[in-house]
Amino acid sequence: MSIQIGDTLPKADLNYLQDGVKTLSTEDLCKDSKVLLFAVPGAFTPTCSARHLPSYVEKMDEFRQRGVKVACMAVNDAFVMSAWGKQSEAPADLYMLADGNAEFTKALGLELDASGFGMGLRCKRFALYAENGVVKQLWVEAPGEFKVSAADYVLSNIG
């Protein structure tokens, strides 16, 4: 079963690149914070690179004004996520997080079998809004869709 509104985010460690690979726990990310976590099936993939990540890069000021931290996650490694963030001109406060072994993705119940595309286990495309680690809103895309996890849609649905 996948995570639901009202649930607490599972404890997990995600990785990012900053003077080497660092670990960020979901507890530390969410502590005393409003967090918008969006996930993509893969860095550098067409929709993710052309539309999904850019929608958040473009709207970061609006998230900042609302006091919301923004994090992008994929089942990739920290090196790939860092390179993708740089190529996409993601600001430093847009966390580019790697769930390399899909442990957090599985704990959320939002895994995607992309074996048919040679990509193995990945994460479904989604956006999740949490306050102090408690899920307040959750938008999971239908297969092949990009609507409800876009930055504009999310901004119009969070207070």
- The pTM for the full model equals 0.94
Domains with residue ranges and CATH for the chain: 13-157 (3.40.30.10)
Q: What is the mean pLDDT of residues 10-21?
A: 97
CA distance 11 to 25: 7
Residue 48 appears among annotated catalytic residues: yes
Whole-number average pLDDT of the chain: 94
pLDDT band at 16 (very low <50, low <70, confident <90, very high): very high
Predicted local confidence at residue 48, as pLDDT: 79
Predicted local confidence at residue 51, as pLDDT: 83
At 3, list the tokens: 């995570």
Q: What is the mean pLDDT of residues 21-39?
A: 97
CB environment 125-155: b (16+ within 10 A), e (fewer): bbbbbbbebebebbbbbeeeebebbbbeebb
Predicted local confidence at residue 26, as pLDDT: 97
pLDDT above 90 for 144: no
Secondary structure letter of residue 51 according to DSSP: I
pLDDT tens digits, one per residue of 54-112? 999 999 999 999 999 999 999 999 999 999 999 999 999 999 999 999 999 999 999 98
Phi-psi region of 55 (alpha: psi -120 to 50; beta: other; left: phi over 0): alpha
Of 30, 48, 72, 123, the active-site residue reads 48
Q: What is the mean pLDDT of residues 142-155?
A: 94
